[in-house]
Amino acid sequence: AQRVTQPEKLLSVFKGAPVELKCNYSYSGSPELFWYVQYSRQRLQLLLRHISRESIKGFTADLNKGETSFHLKKPFAQEEDSAMYYCALSPSGNTGKLIFGQGTTLQVKP
């Protein structure tokens, strides 16, 4: 079955600490993976996708096919990073038809 798992509902770190938001997926083919972010009172927006290999707002994510993971990392968390983060998988290459994880709330404390 196609599935995205984000094991942590809440991740709380202090400002300046490293952050790693975990995402594991279950998919038999070559998936396309995304991280979406929703800041307080804002709409859901794309943060990054694995094929672009970009670093957005200091965040990076590497697709590890062996471990079927796509963890989101940032070396030094900022308070403005506090938000809900969703990992998502596109099974068909369709970037809008996505299977989402349940989300992780990142709380960055001052």
- In the complex, the residues that contact another protein under the rule CB under 8 A are 4, 6, 43-46, 86, 88, 94-103
Q: Which is nearer to another protein, 13 or 44 (CB)?
A: 44
Q: Which is nearer to another protein, 40 or 110 (CB)?
A: 40
Maximum pairwise Cα distance, the chain: 42
Sign of CA dihedral 48, 50, 52, 53: positive
Nearer to another protein, 13 or 99 (CB): 99
Hey, is 15 helix, strand or coil? coil
User: Closest separation between CB of residue 88 and another protein, Å?
Assistant: 8
The least CB distance from residue 45 to another protein, in Å, is: 7
Name, in order, each residue with C-beta under 8 angstroms of 94's C-beta and a sequence gap of 6 or more.
Answer: none
Q: Which is nearer to another protein, 4 or 19 (CB)?
A: 4
Name the minimum Å distance from CB 1 to another protein: 14
Provide, rounded to whole angstroms, the least separation between the CB of residue 100 and another protein.
4
